[in-house]
Every structure is written in structure tokens, then in C-alpha cells.
Amino acid sequence: MTDYLRYLPILIIPLLIFITCKLIRSSGTCIVCKKLAIGSPYRCSDGVICKDCSQLMPSSTLRSLKMEPASTVKRLIDITRSNIPRYRKIFDETSHFGNIHIDERNGLIALCSNREIKDGKLKSSCKNIFSVLNVQDCNFNIKTESSSENAVKVSIHFILVLAEPNITIKEQIGHATCNAHRVDYEHISYSEPSALTLFRSIFVGMLRQTWEKYDYMQSHNFISPQAVELTLSRALFMVDEQYTLNEIKRQRNRLIKAFHPDSNKDIDATKYTEKINNAYKILKDNLR
């Protein structure tokens, strides 16, 4: 036992040196508030961000700040302070997929867990709220995690590029199991989850109608709620302005079949069916 104890300092000293170096690297004066920050995990290209200042920003943006200057961090804090409380107050969820929740009428995107939202309203802990008008680009990515003969498990990621400040946010928003079939000995083919397909069309419709609404208000200072609902319904059914009754009937049947509880146990089929039927009614009434 004594022989082993003799070698203990040899093992402990390198570990202490490693921990000390990590603390030194993650310590310094906060580039925002100028206070001493010890052991902070958050950095930007110009230095350390203390824990208190990091809590003033959306948590989803912190991983994107490593290569950004201090001016971007300060700008992000200013925007968060001025906009997030207002966004949180008016947010009213209309649809969601995994950890991404949207308010189509107000053009808002919230990246949060189900614990941070109740009855469609965001709790005070949620700071990851963004306006569509500040979105420069966005995309959904699917990554394969594991596969079997008839199914593929995937993780779904959301990439959001903000215009002001210009930073890119990457968030994993959920998991799904996709039906699959073997193409050959080495390859398996699968299609994206039907719930994601529907949510993507709703999301794109929100982007389109928010910008149309903004452009219209810029020139006319008014847009009717009916026009907003019609734009969202067209996006959901993926039809243009010249749609016909037969076209929306076929699309409604496809959507209802795709989101029937028997074929889709992972989603709230009742909620989606109600959304599809409401959109069909709006589109049908518009033809009269």
C-alpha cells in the first residue's frame, strides 16, 4: 500500500495543472460588465462572458458566440432586453414539432422544451424567442442515428440564421422513427417523418405570410385577419392562389390519411385533423 502512495503525487500533480490551466483559460474580465469571471464556460473571440451576462441572452445562441466579437454579444443582449419580454407576452402557440414552437399569427419562433410552455403560452424562463422578420435563413436537417431492416431512427436539427446580429443557431429539436426499406445490401432508403413534412409546410407558410403582412403594412398600414388565415391555409395545403375545389379536396384527403392515429402514433392527430379541416373550410369559403 505504501508503494502505491509514493506514486500518488505523480498522478495528482498533472491533474491539478490541467484543472488550473482550464480555470485560467476560462477566467478573466467579462467583456460585457467588466466584472471578474472565474471558470466561465462562455466565451467570444474577444474574451470571457460571465454567468450573469450569459443569462441575459437566449441560451441557444451561446454556443454560436465563440467566433463573434464583443460588439455582437452586446448587440444580442440589447435586442434580448428590448424584444424578448414583448415576444413572450404576445406568443400564442399554433403549432409545434419537438422543441420548436411557432406562433403563426405573430410570426414568432420559440426554441424550448415542453416544460417552458403551458397551454400555448411561454413561461418566464424561456428566452429563445425569435421574430420571423429577423430570420435570414433556416433549414431542417435529418441525421441517421441507427437503422434496422424496416425502420430508421433519426435526430432532427433546426438551423436558424439571424440577420441582426448575424449569428447561426443550431439546435436538435427532436427524434423520430421512419419507415424504411432496403435498396440493396449496403443501402437503406427512408422518407422523412410525415409530421415533419406537415410542420415544414406550416412553418414555410408562416414565413411567407409574415413577410407578406410586413410588406403590405409598409405600403397600406393594414392587413385583414382573413387575409392572414387564407395565406396560412394555402401554405398548409401547398396550393397557389389559383387553386380549385377538387385540388383542395384531394389534398385534404391526403393530409387526413397521413395524420390518422392508426398510421401516426407519435403526434397529436386530433389537433392536426382540426387544423386541416379549418384550413379546408377557409379555402372552400374563399372560392365562393
10 Å CB burial of residue 74 (0-12, 13-18, 19+) is middle
The pLDDT confidence band at residue 11, using thresholds 50, 70 and 90, is: low
Average pLDDT, the chain: 81
Residue 162's contacts (CB-CB under 8 Å, 6 or more residues apart) are: 130, 134, 135, 136, 168, 169
Highest average pLDDT, of 26-40, 42-56, 93-107, comes from: 93-107
Together in a domain, 206 and 263: yes
The pLDDT confidence band at residue 33, using thresholds 50, 70 and 90, is: confident
End residue of a domain, out of 132, 157, 190: 190
Residue 257's contacts (CB-CB under 8 Å, 6 or more residues apart) are: 263
Together in a domain, 167 and 252: no
Whether the model clears a pTM of 0.85, i.e. scores above it, the answer is no
Together in a domain, 160 and 204: no
pLDDT at residue 5 greater than cutoff 60: no
The one-letter code for the residue type at 72 is T
Together in a domain, 177 and 107: yes
Between 220 and 284, name the one with better pLDDT: 284
- Distance from CA of residue 267 to its chain's centroid? 18
Together in a domain, 182 and 140: yes
Classify residue 147: in a domain, yes or no.
yes
Contact yes or no for 53/43 (Cβ under 8 A): no
Identify the weakest region by mean pLDDT among 33-37, 58-62, 78-82, 261-265: 261-265
End residue of a domain, out of 141, 165, 190: 190
Together in a domain, 230 and 140: no
Half-sphere exposure (Cβ direction) of 192: Cα atoms closer than 13 Å: 14
Percentage of the chain lying above the pLDDT 90 cut: 15
Residue 207's contacts (CB-CB under 8 Å, 6 or more residues apart) are: 107, 132, 135, 138
Query: Which residue blocks in the chain are alpha helix, DSSP H?
Result: 2-6, 8-25, 51-54, 70-90, 194-220, 225-237, 245-258, 269-286
Which pLDDT tens digit goes with each residue over 88-147? 999 999 999 999 999 988 899 999 988 999 989 999 889 899 999 888 888 999 998 888
**What pLDDT was estimated at residue 92?**
93
**What pLDDT was estimated at residue 100?**
94
End-to-end CA distance of the chain: give it in Å, rounded: 92
Together in a domain, 181 and 209: no
Highest average pLDDT, of 76-85, 102-111, 143-152, 160-169, comes from: 102-111
pLDDT at residue 194 greater than cutoff 60: yes
Based on DSSP, count helices (H) and strands (E) in the chain, helices before strands.
Answer: 8, 14
The one-letter code for the residue type at 178 is C
pLDDT at residue 24 greater than cutoff 60: no
The pLDDT confidence band at residue 242, using thresholds 50, 70 and 90, is: confident
Together in a domain, 211 and 183: no
**What pLDDT was estimated at residue 222?**
52
pLDDT at residue 220 greater than cutoff 60: no
Which pLDDT tens digit goes with each residue over 171-188? 999 988 888 877 777 777
- Output the domain CATH number for residue 275: 1.10.287
- Which residues lie across from 160 on neighbouring strands? 138, 169
Which range marks the domain in which residue 99 is found?
Answer: 85-190
**What pLDDT was estimated at residue 16?**
59
- Cell 477566467, residue? 27
Closest by CA position to 169, among listed 84, 111, 114: 111
Percentage of the chain lying above the pLDDT 70 cut: 82
**What pLDDT was estimated at residue 22?**
53
